[in-house]
Amino acid sequence: MPRSDVPFYLMLLVLGGVYVVLLVGMLAADVVYMMTSDGTDTFALPAWLEWARVVLRPVLGMLAALGKPEIQYSIKLTMISCFFTAILSVLVAVPLGYSLSRFRFPGRTLLDAMLDIPIVLPPLVVGLSLLILFQFWPFNLASGMVVYKIPAVILAQFMVAAAFAVRTMRATFDQIDPRPEQVALTLGCNHGQAFRMVAFPLARQGMVTAGTLSWARALGEFGPLLIFAGATRNKTEVLSTTVFLELSIGNLEAAVAVSLIMVLAAMIVLVIARVWGTGSLGRI
């Protein structure tokens, strides 16, 4: 007789459940902290909503944070920098992912490993390496326009986020059957035309997924920004550095409120990525 599967299911539940419980508990702790905090008691509510103030405290905390000019600036810069990071990441991820998936060339394995370096390196090291890079020619010619300025924010985010986009695009092209491209070649197309008319349209869903993942990764980037772009208020401040700056002045409630804003934004983007990646809301 086959042995019972109960121990196997219990093992899956316990080992996987530990991480899920920690993840949910971490997010719930932020919400509970805001609900028990009295820092939003001065936030004006309509009289008919006063009874729900305790429940609405996390939302009120986020609204109070959104009302600060410096946080409005950081949200605006975050949205802009993440948008350009996502675009740039997809621009480099498509040719790299396609080349690694379709061609065999000398140094391919080395290139494949190098593209994972930003994923495995500590983020601070990425920022420090960028800072050192811009001390040498020809990058030092643009140092005054990049380092500790807004372009540094985008470049620091891009250096990490692009690695995730490349992985996504390579997996996308690996899953696309190369035979339609081979048929296009036999019908007279060159490699460029076969890519443009066959592979590129089929990879559209993967490009959206790569872009959204890059956007989400850029949203949470902090280490390279701190080293390469700095954390100057109303200049290079994005949401991740806002959390650091609010913590540095002891404003824990504002830091948690901004964290909840980031969690909410990341969840929206990741749900979009899942919808485009699976093609169905029901699979989320």
The CA-based dihedral angle spanning residues 218, 222, 225, 231, taken in that order and rounded to the nearest 10 degrees: 120
| One-letter amino acid of 190 | N
For 105-128, letters b (16+ CB in 10 Å) and e give eeeeeeeeeebeebeebebeebbb
Cα distance from N-terminal residue to C-terminal residue, the chain: 37
**Per-residue model confidence as pLDDT tens for the chain (284 residues):** 567 888 888 999 999 999 999 999 998 888 888 877 776 666 677 777 777 777 777 777 777 777 888 888 998 999 999 999 999 999 999 999 999 999 998 999 999 999 999 988 888 899 999 999 999 999 989 989 999 999 999 999 999 999 999 999 999 999 999 999 999 989 888 889 999 999 999 999 889 889 988 998 999 899 899 999 988 888 999 999 999 998 888 888 888 888 888 888 888 887 877 776 665 444 44
Smallest CA-to-CA distance from 80 within 212, 219, 179, 184 is with: 219
The pTM score is: 0.85
Q: In sequence order, what are the residues at sequence separation of 6 or more whose Cβ sits closer than 8 angstroms to the Cβ of residue 97?
A: 166, 167, 168, 169, 170, 171, 172, 173
Q: In sequence order, what are the residues at sequence separation of 6 or more whose Cβ sits closer than 8 angstroms to the Cβ of residue 195?
A: 98, 181
